[in-house]
Structure 1
Amino acid sequence: MKNTLILTSMTAALMSLSSQAAVIINPTTITYTGTAAEQTGINLDDENNLINGNGLSGTPTIGDYTTITHIAANFDAPGVVWATTDTGPAGGDFFADNGGTTVSFEVIFDQAYDITDLVTWGYHFGANNANDISEVVLDYGVGNFDNSTGAISVALADSPGAAITSAIGSTIQADRIRINVTDNHFGNGPAGGDRVGLAELRFVGTAVPEPSTTGLIGLAGLAFILRRRR
């Protein structure tokens, strides 16, 4: 009985050590995979500016990301935001005028995570802008994009440049995500909406722990010793 209790206690201890705290997840790579044209010539066409921190007031962490802000869009090299072209008449609705073209990004993480939220910083010029994304669908998985979420609403920022946290609605496990932008904020109040723009993105989640090889070996060894003593 004592041996069983020892093994149970050690197993519980190992499980508690493997539990993870929530973190801000910064993708390691991002690729634009949409068919809508990116705005070239004025430093709006580099999707890496969505994950490299250009324009942020600091490095976001789980404890302070809501206080981190993003500067207004500008056209100076190397760029601080990303945007499509205007596919229709000036002042029009991008998603009504884009001829069925798509806006999507594929991001890869350094490992698998259990992810609960999307965090974005919006495209703005000192005031909220309707070019900013308002709805996305995520394709995700570990090693693939075989799973999909429903539509996820992305609100306008409480103030220009502030972080926007959008709940995914359930916990998804992924080491990669395809972000399909399905709407912007055209008609929701701010100026703009004839293109799609975004400043920065992150995710909130917990790392999926790797099995503790050392711990498993230790447990196996202890089990063997206790078995020999019986």
Structure 2
Amino acid sequence: MPTRTLPEEEVIKRRSRGRPSPEQAVALREAFLGAALRSFLEHGYAATSIEAIARDAGVAKITIYRQFENKEALFREVVHRAVSSARETMQATLVRSGADERQVLLDLVERMYLGATEPQTLALLRLVIAEAVRFPELAKSLYAENSYVLAPVVEYLAEAHRAGRLYVPDPELAAVQLSTLAFGGVRFFISKPLAGPEERRTWAEGVVDLVLRGWTPAPAAVTARDGPAEASD
């Protein structure tokens, strides 16, 4: 039996009926991004393919390719989503009226530590480090995300410096230094996370007391009165 050719209008109508609603489109995106995260963490970057992600998510490949041109772009979005909650948490911590700088920084350091050692985020960081030699663009994308995450901290430190509450002439550098101290460098990559709230608070207190030694402005009256130190007889 010869195949019946559908009129163009009918083909367009059928395709239109098959398009997902806005709600369905959001659900499809969540499905394949979740599948992508699982695949990257379970199999690594090199062994993950968009075809496998689409199959696991139950979507067509074209659904993913319509939004991401390649696997690298998809991975960047997965990382971005993973760190966005950390940025939002820091933003909420910093927007607090009436709290002194030490208390704000204590809460911030604890939240930085918790965000970095959250199992999913930690696994992604380890993945990027493991793949950095073969896929240097992944490391570059992670550096960009780090700037995105720390932006609220940079803004807070810059404002505190302008107001004279802290002495932080280079807030971008200071934010990176604070985050590195908060995370513990490579410590949390090779050892167990700190055990509970008490250890985290002790860690945070040590970090904050250290940075405040350099960030606390010298009293203007003392600075003006003492001036440069003079040699004594």
Give TM-score, length-normalised by structure 1: 0.26
Q: Which has the higher strand share?
A: 1
Give TM-score, length-normalised by structure 2: 0.25
Please say which structure displays the higher CA radius of gyration: 2
